[in-house]
Structure 1
Amino acid sequence: MSHSPHNIRTASAEARGRGATAALLIAHCAGMLDLVALPVWVGAALIGSMGLAPAQAGLLVTLFLAGQVMASLVLAPRFGRWPAQRVIVGGFALATLAFASLFLVQTYVLMALLHALGGIGAGTALSCVHGLMGRSANPHRVFAMAGLALGLFGILVLGSGPVIVEKAGAATLFVLFALATFTAAVAALMWLGQSQSVAENQADSSAPTSTQLKAPIPKVVWMGMLGIGCMSLANAMLFSFVERIGMDRGYGLQTVTSILIGVGLFNLVPPVLAALLEKRLAAGRVLLAGPVCQLLLALAVTQVQSLWLFAFAAVVWVGVMIFTHTFLFGLIARLDTSGRALAATPAMLMIGSAIGPLLAGVLVDASGYQGLGLMVAMVAVLAFGCFLRLQWATDNRAAVVPRSSH
């Protein structure tokens, strides 16, 4: 059976596109591991196994996330000017070296330095990954797929992490992190070509033009970036101590581990729903609902002494963030077609996540878990205000700009 050259070229392009997409999904999981691993990282490993105080443990993770923020702020404005594959491979290689070294050191100062270096490496790679996703033919769908992949990864981390730390020590967790970033580097090296496209057979995934790179990012985008930053701060503050809250209330390792596994399983649901409801739900309404749900869930976790309510709220907590962010990702991709705003996604998320563990640790030391819950609720209110401003500005923009100009 003969195949025409055109069919062969089309099949080859589709294969390259699938490989590139797979590499980006793997890289998303490795770069966003903090989103699913915080309870194990902070609670089980640094506090439970290594005996660090809450503020000390929070500072280490904050340094990692601060490194991601700094790297993203440097790379995002320059997205499209550097070879994407080299940036992603190099960034994850640095993160792998940092995590592997954490297995060997015990000095707090060295641990702090390695956390910061790991964050810089992961943030550099992740900025480029999200920029490429933003240049794909359907950013909303690609990011939903990334959320689903992250949910599967979360099941592995949350299901096995506490048990591994309990039996083999905290340092073993860093070996798992090193394996994740190493896998992402290898996938990018194998499947991401020099063209930096997500799917080379789709015209919409071409590199941004020089005109797009020079044009300013629309002002309305900044409110969305600030709002998701507030949501990520709220997410990190509470999620960092979910494991500790459960253990301190006497629920036991088996129950708390089961709840964390439930978190990972439930995290598979929001990306699928976000993909299916892309055309059915208005992005503005989803963005307003997200912070409201965060506020209610935070109060349920910290203010009510009920195992069942705690379990429900903890399980759906991260899912609210994933669902809301997927719609925001698609909205920003439409507002800024250069991909630079979405290349700053790690900065949007991690600037909140970087502050979260440390601030939460200080609050827990000073006012307990109830004080933590009230602060998370206040941050959620700020996120709601930002998204309300974004919706108002977007509605006005749509009314002024004719549809034919898009």
Structure 2
Amino acid sequence: METNLSATTAAEANPGTARDAAARHGALGTLALMIAHCAGMVDVVALPVWVGTLIGAYRLDPQQAGLLPTLFLAGAVVSSLFFSPRLNRLPSRVAATLGFCVAALVFFGLASTGRYPVMAALHAVAGIAAGCGLSFTHGTFGRSRNPHRLFAIAGLTLGFFAIAFLGITPGVIAVQGGQTLFRIFAGVMGVAAITSALAFPSLRPKRVAATPAEPRFDRAVWFGMAGVACMGLTQAMMFSFVQRIGLDRGFGFSAVTATLIALGFVNLFPAPIAGLLELRIPGRRVVLAGPLVQAALALVIAQSAAFAPYAAASSVLVAVMIFTHTFAFGMLARLDGTGRAVAATPAMLMTGAAIGPVLGGTLVKQYGYGSLGIAAALIAAMAVFCFSRLERRPN
């Protein structure tokens, strides 16, 4: 089933109207987009298990372990920066399918090596490939009839994926070894490649000769993108070490795993709630409050010596990011009707997220876990400043 999202003649003359002319995706197209979103955003779910496995199973120190996901995320940033401006000029289904297919093959290769230089190179290549698929996924979101609502559905889907991943993967890795993590990643990317090939909505490339140069982003768009990147940095920095903080403070494997599963269940709610509240809460208020709440939770996780506050803060850490980013996504989609800004969502999130694991690992190695909370507070201040530059609009 193929749903054409090509613009009408009028829309081709003005890229800003592309979203208004977009057709409905249909059930299969939406399903393919949801699966692609989960695959491309696997780091949001997997970082604590990813870093924890690299430390526990591969015997890497925190800095080395943090660097590998950083290379994956850096590759995704570079890929997104390259492909997002080309959203309206390349075949979306083909690009998404090839991206996830290459990522699957690379992760399968990672499962068969333990040499650090090879692992580093393969992480970067996997990030480039997955970033390509995710850029076209989010660009297609941005050219839908209601980007805010579609992104909210994607957040709910990611919550279900998180429950399955965090509930199953740690136990499987404990029994079968660290290489199992990369086989699971390969399977996730492979499923995304297959569903993208069969049902990914098709954005027909525009005729370049008939289309004037697309306008530059407004300053508010750039500030909004920087604010999302700051939140992504805090998210990745803290989430990478949630598992290790709990284990190193003696909370026990079962208790920490239960916390991660609870996190997955909590993640089911912020996206649909954000979708329902789209017209009831000004988006600007949400994006200004989000970084502050995120920093408060980070301080609790980093400083707590007791299990209860650690578990409570950890279980809602990702939910704050999902809720805030859903509103930020909708605001950016309205500010830029071409879809290019939201197609750069991987670059926004992963610019910060790419720095997060290695920054967190360096801070932990030098100053201990408590330093993560202080860093989160400083980054939150930058995020609030960036979001404050967004125009005062109803949403």
- State TM-score, norm by structure 2: 0.91
Residues 256-289 of structure 1, C-alpha deviation per residue, up to 9 Å, x if partnerless? 0000001111000101110111111100000011
The 5 Å alignment of 1:199-278 reads: 214-278=214-278
Distance 1:249 1:124, change over 3 A: same
Distance 1:207 1:279 in 2: 36
Structure 1 residue 372: deviation in Å?
1.5
Q: CA deviation at 1:209?
A: 11
- Opposite residue 186 of structure 1, the aligned amino acid is I
For residues 30 and 96 of structure 2, the distance between their equivalents in structure 1, rounded to whole angstroms, comes to: 14
TM-superposed deviation, 1:208? 11
* Partner of residue 323, structure 1: 323
Q: CA deviation at 1:306?
A: 2.1
Cα-to-partner distance string for 1:132-182 (whole Å, 9 max, x where unaligned): 000000000000000011111111111112111111111101111111111
Aligned equivalents of 1:345, 1:14: Cα separation in 2: 22
Percent of pairs with identical residues: 50
Q: Which residue of 2 aligns with 1:149?
A: 157
- For 2:32, the equivalent position in structure 1 comes to 23
Kept in 2, the 8 Å contact 1:231–1:321? The answer is: yes
1:53 is the counterpart of 2:61: yes
**1:136 alignment counterpart:** 144
Counterpart CA distance in 2 for 1:22 and 1:364 is 40
Q: Find out whether 1:311 has 2:311 as its counterpart.
A: yes
User: How far, CA to CA, are the matches of 1:238 and 1:296 in structure 2?
Assistant: 12
In structure 2, how many angstroms separate the alpha carbons of the residues matched to 1:389 and 1:83? 34
Q: Distance in 2 between matches of 1:191 and 1:30?
A: 15
C-alpha distance in 1 between matches for 2:210 and 2:326: 27
Partner amino acid, structure 2, of 1:250? G
**Structure 1 equivalent of residue 11 of structure 2:** none
Root-mean-square deviation over aligned CA pairs: 2.0
In structure 1, what is the Cα distance between the partners aligned to 2:122 and 2:85? 26
Aligned to 2:12: none
Q: Report what 2:279 is aligned to.
A: 279
Amino acid at match of 1:95: A
Residue pair 1:42, 1:241 contacting (<8 A) in 2 also: yes
Which region of structure 1 is more displaced relative to structure 2, 212-221 or 105-114? 212-221
8 Å contact kept, 1:212–1:338: no
| 1:38 equivalent in structure 2 | 47
Structure 1 segments unaligned to the other structure (5+ residues): 1-12, 198-205, 400-406
| Distance in 2 (alpha carbons) for counterparts of 1:207 and 1:248 | 57
* 1:65-214 correspondence runs (5 A): 65-195=73-203, 214=214
Q: In the TM superposition, what whole-angstrom CA distance separates every residue of 1:183-231 from its partner, at most 9, and x where no partner exists?
A: 111111111254459xxxxxxxx99996586111222100000000000
> Matched residues in 2 for 1:385 and 1:169: separation?
44
In structure 2, runs of 5+ residues without a counterpart are 1-21
Q: 1:363 to 1:16 in 2, by over 3 A?
A: closer
Change (3 A) 1:257 1:152: same
Pair 1:258–1:365, CA change in 2 (3 A): same
Letter in 2 for 1:18: A
Structure with more of its chain in helix, by fraction: 1
Q: How many angstroms apart in 2 are the aligned matches of 1:58 and 1:247?
A: 17
Task: Tell me by how many angstroms 1:106 deviates.
Answer: 1.1
Partner of 1:373: 373
| Cα distance in structure 2, aligned partners of 1:320 and 1:193 | 29
Cα separation, 2, equivalents of 1:317 and 1:207? 44
The 8 Å contact of residues 62 and 355 in structure 1, kept in 2 or not, is answered as yes
SS at match of 1:214: coil
Q: Distance in 2 between matches of 1:379 and 1:164?
A: 35
Range with bigger deviation, 249-258 or 154-163: 154-163
Of stretches 381-390 and 31-40 in structure 1, the one that deviates more from structure 2 is: 381-390
Does the Cα contact within 8 Å between 1:135 and 1:207 map onto a contact in 2? Answer: no
1:373 partner amino acid: G
3-state SS, counterpart of residue 30 of structure 1: helix
> Are the counterparts in 2 of residues 196 and 207 from structure 1 also a CA contact under 8 Å?
no
Q: How many Å separate the matches in 2 of 1:310 and 1:212?
A: 53
Q: Say how many residue pairs are matched.
A: 373
> How far 1:295 sits from its partner (Å)?
1.3
When residues 361 and 137 of structure 1 are mapped into structure 2, their CA distance, relative to the original with a 3 A threshold, is same
